Every structure is written in structure tokens, then in C-alpha cells.
């Protein structure tokens, strides 16, 4: 039973670290290579998550659908990828600052320019993953090598 808990906890830790790095990397790429524009929020989608926040209630995220023109003059209507936790105090339509990035496959990624909570969430996920990994290293001396070799074999 202890080994199963060890495996599940280690997989959870590595998943949290992977998720954090992928979110932070994506935001970093968009901020460095993206183009800043002014967009108009057309609608807001409210999403209630099943996990609980620190106050004991459910976590709510708001996803903006924005409309803007690219540098090529193409009118785009797209939902921003990362939601915001704070409910907007105005109803659509209203203007926001955005950053968009079009990758090699013509996929368009859009984020809010001043959404610091996405970066904070990424660092929080990274902290949680590293925290659980440190607990594993402290409690299961030597068994972490088994997990690392297992993951290396999966990747090959």
C-alpha cells in the first residue's frame, strides 16, 4: 500500500511541475513574441470549478471573448485562454489590453496583458509539485530513483 501511495504522489508531483512549466512557458512566449493590441470584450463566460478555494467556496473563473484586428487587418474573435478570478465590474462591451501570438501553425494564442494571476497560478503549481516531491524524497529514501528510471523508460 505504501508503494502505491508513493507512486501516485510522485506522479502527481511530476504532473504539477509539468503543468506549471508548460503554463509559464506559454505565457512567457506570448509576452516576449506577442503583439500588444487593444481588444473589445464581447462576452464573458463564467466557469465554476469543482475544487474549493481557500475560503471554502467553489472557484470561479471568467473567460473573456475578445474582438481585435491583427497587424494584417484581419478581424479576430477569440476567447482568452487563461481565465481571470475577479469578476469584471462592467458588462460587455468594454476595452481591454491583450497580447496575441500566432505560431508557425497559425494557431492564435491570446492573453490579457496585465493578468498576473496566471503567472502566480503557474508558480503556485510549481511550488505544490516541488513540495510533494520534497516530501517524497524525505520519506522514501532511495525509492525516488525507481520513479525517475521508470519515467525515463516511458519517454524512450
- The secondary structure of 31-54 as a DSSP string is HHH-EEEEEEEEEEEEEEEEEE-T
Answer whether residue 6 is part of any domain.
no
pLDDT reported for residue 41: 92
Helices (H), 55-139: 116-139
pLDDT reported for residue 146: 67
Q: Which of 120, 122, 108 has the alpha carbon at shortest distance from 35?
A: 108
- The C-alpha atoms of residue 122 and residue 88 are separated, in whole angstroms, by 22
Answer whether residue 3 is part of any domain.
no
Answer whether residue 112 is part of any domain.
yes
125: phi then psi, degrees, rounded to nearest 5 = -60, -40
Answer whether residue 2 is part of any domain.
no
Answer whether residue 48 is part of any domain.
yes
Question: pTM for the full model?
Answer: 0.66
Of residues 50 and 7, the one with the higher pLDDT is 7
- Residue where the block lists cell 517524497: 136
Answer whether residue 39 is part of any domain.
yes
pLDDT reported for residue 25: 86
**DSSP type of residue 141:** T
Judging by beta carbons within 10 Å of its beta carbon (0-12, 13-18, 19+), is residue 7 exposed, middle or buried?
Answer: middle
Q: How many distinct structural domains can be found in the chain?
A: 1
| C-alpha 56, offset from chain centre | 22
Answer whether residue 55 is part of any domain.
yes
Render pLDDT for 48-102 as a digit per residue (tens, 0 to 9): 875 554 555 567 888 889 999 888 888 889 888 888 877 788 888 888 888 888 8
Judging by beta carbons within 10 Å of its beta carbon (0-12, 13-18, 19+), is residue 24 exposed, middle or buried?
Answer: middle
Would you say residue 45 has pLDDT above 80? yes
Q: Which domain holds residue 112?
A: 13-155
Amino acid at each position: 500500500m505504501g508503494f502505491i501511495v508513493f507512486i501516485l504522489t510522485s506522479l502527481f508531483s511530476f504532473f504539477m511541475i509539468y503543468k506549471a512549466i508548460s503554463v509559464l512557458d506559454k505565457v512567457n512566449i506570448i509576452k516576449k513574441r506577442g503583439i500588444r493590441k487593444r481588444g473589445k470584450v464581447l462576452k464573458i463566460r463564467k466557469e465554476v470549478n469543482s475544487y474549493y478555494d481557500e475560503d471554502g467556496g467553489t472557484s470561479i473563473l471568467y473567460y473573456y471573448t475578445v474582438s481585435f484586428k491583427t497587424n494584417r487587418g484581419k478581424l479576430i474573435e477569440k476567447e482568452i485562454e487563461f481565465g481571470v478570478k475577479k469578476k469584471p465590474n462592467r458588462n460587455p462591451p468594454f476595452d481591454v489590453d491583450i497580447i496575441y501570438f500566432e505560431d508557425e501553425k497559425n494557431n492564435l494564442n491570446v492573453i490579457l496583458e496585465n493578468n498576473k494571476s496566471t503567472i502566480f497560478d503557474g508558480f503556485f503549481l510549481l511550488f505544490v509539485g516541488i513540495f510533494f516531491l520534497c516530501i517524497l524524497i524525505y520519506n522514501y529514501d532511495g525509492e525516488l530513483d525507481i520513479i525517475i528510471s521508470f519515467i525515463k523508460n516511458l519517454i524512450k
